[in-house]
Amino acid sequence: MQIVTAEAVGMASARLARINPRLQGYVDRGQAAGFVTLVARDGQVAHLETCGFRDAEAQLPAQIDTIFRIYSMTKPVTSVALMMLYERGAFQLHDPVSRYIPAFGKTRVLEAMGFLGKELVEQNPPMTIHHLLTHTAGLSYGFFLDTPIDEMYRKSVFFSSSATLEEKIIQMADIPLRHQPGAAWNYSIATDVCGYLAQVLADMPFEDFLEREIFAPLGMADTAFYVPAGKEDRLAKLYQHTLPDSNFREYTGKANIPVQDYTQPAAAPSGGGGLVSTIGDYWQFANMLLNRGELDGARIIGRKTLSYMTQNHLRPELLPIAIGPNTIAGRGFGLGFEVIMDAARTGVLNSNGSYGWSGAAATNFWVDPQERIVGIIMTQLLENQHNFQDDFRALTYQALVD
């Protein structure tokens, strides 16, 4: 990874230098353990710094090669993988999911809660692959509290540490949908279904497809669904906020959501949230996106396909999107990415057309084709209550001088 001066890419060194002190403040106040951050423009890295710890108790510092659980930052990787198969003619976006995963042909939809319990109806229209990629399939995640469907998720095989990917997806098809496909945007296990769908269409284990088609060509040597022997000491410890003071403590798990042992291969590689990675590896992926699907001679996905994926695909009545009670203003959703539609409404410096996503442990990345910028922030903090992602984004953009 080549690092250049900020001035070489039209940014100001003195202004980029504001990032680390701001993030160090969160560490000093006991609000986060540590960070690794990267800012690049035109494919050249102008900022790559660390602060704080990968293990606060042991006082092990965060390092450039620290391995992080990136959780839902796995989703863009999975979505790209599935669309690579689309480019090979394996499916059409309007194809019913049941054509490739027959169990979803029997999945019914919750229409109402009646006197005798759940009132279920048939899918109308049938769930399509486009619904999966846009989180409009009617699936859920289990951590929402507004429907009985999520209670069924919490008791399901989805949180099993021993079930295979096929077993999980087939059994999840037995749970009714929250709403009719296409009727609403609801963050969900849809991308896990996309991972299994890629496995079916490619006729190989999902993890092998990612390694062969994305990780190896991009040199992402530390990205996988587990941390192999010899690298465990580089894995950051996972923390969570303790309310109401919002300081952090080690995460030890919740009911029905066990702590995953990332030192062992996953029985069911999660396309929605299972990868670990380093900032350098994810930079390779993000730089490929910024470079319209190609990096160092390796064409991962076509430029037109990527352009299509990173447009908003949601109808106006499905906006604004929200995760639980939290509205995500100014943003739409494409095929695996959030998309900035109205930068002014996001509440932080942004560009229309930027796209990216976050992970549950407060990791975040974005690609800005207009300003030719990639920003990545890595940390390990569940239930984050602070604004360091917005701080990082604002401090990145304020450094632009050309």
- Percent of the chain surpassing pLDDT 70: 98
Our count of domains for the chain comes to 1
pLDDT-derived band at 144 (thresholds 50, 70, 90) equals: confident
- Enclosing domain of residue 218: 62-361
Give the alpha-carbon dihedral of 39, 43, 46, 50, to 10 degrees. 50
**Three-state helix/strand/coil letters over 117-155:** EEEEECCCCCCEHHHHHCCCCCCCCCCCCCCHHHHHHHC
Instruction: Tell me the pLDDT tens digit for each residue of 328-381.
Output: 999 999 999 999 999 999 999 999 999 999 999 999 999 999 999 999 999 999
Asked whether residue 257 is assigned to any structural domain, the reply reads yes
Asked whether residue 192 is assigned to any structural domain, the reply reads yes
Region at 362 (left for phi over 0; alpha for psi -120 to 50; beta for the rest): left
Instruction: Tell me the pLDDT tens digit for each residue of 223-264.
Output: 999 999 999 999 999 999 988 778 999 998 875 566 789 999
66: nearest Cα among 285, 287, 280, 364: 280
CA 294 → CA 137, 284, 286, 300, 301, distances in Å? 30, 10, 10, 6, 7
Instruction: Tell me the pLDDT tens digit for each residue of 55-67.
Output: 999 999 999 999 9
- Percent of the chain surpassing pLDDT 90: 91
pTM attached to this predicted model:
0.97
Placement of tokens 């001066």 in the chain: 5
What mean pLDDT is predicted for residues 79-84?
99
Asked whether residue 236 is assigned to any structural domain, the reply reads yes
Q: Round to whole Å and give the CA distance between 267 and 385.
A: 32
Asked whether residue 6 is assigned to any structural domain, the reply reads no
Q: Does residue 117 have a pLDDT over 80?
A: no
Cis peptide bond N-terminal to 325, omega within 30: no
Our CA angle for 220, 224, 229, nearest 5°, is 105
- Among 123-127, 141-145, 286-290, 292-296, the least confident range: 141-145
Instruction: Tell me the pLDDT tens digit for each residue of 95-116.
Output: 999 999 999 999 999 998 776 6
Asked whether residue 399 is assigned to any structural domain, the reply reads no
pLDDT-derived band at 15 (thresholds 50, 70, 90) equals: very high
Q: Looking at residue 146, what is its pLDDT?
A: 81
Asked whether residue 128 is assigned to any structural domain, the reply reads yes
What mean pLDDT is predicted for residues 201-216?
98
CA 146 → CA 71, 167, 178, distances in Å? 23, 26, 10
Asked whether residue 29 is assigned to any structural domain, the reply reads no
Question: Which residues on neighbouring strands pair with residue 68, listed in sequence order?
Answer: 277
What mean pLDDT is predicted for residues 187-216?
98
Q: Looking at residue 255, what is its pLDDT?
A: 58
User: How crowded is residue 388: how many other Cβ atoms within 10 Å of its Cβ?
Assistant: 22
Asked whether residue 366 is assigned to any structural domain, the reply reads no
Report the CATH number at residue 133: 3.40.710.10
Question: Which residues on neighbouring strands pair with residue 364, listed in sequence order?
Answer: 358, 377
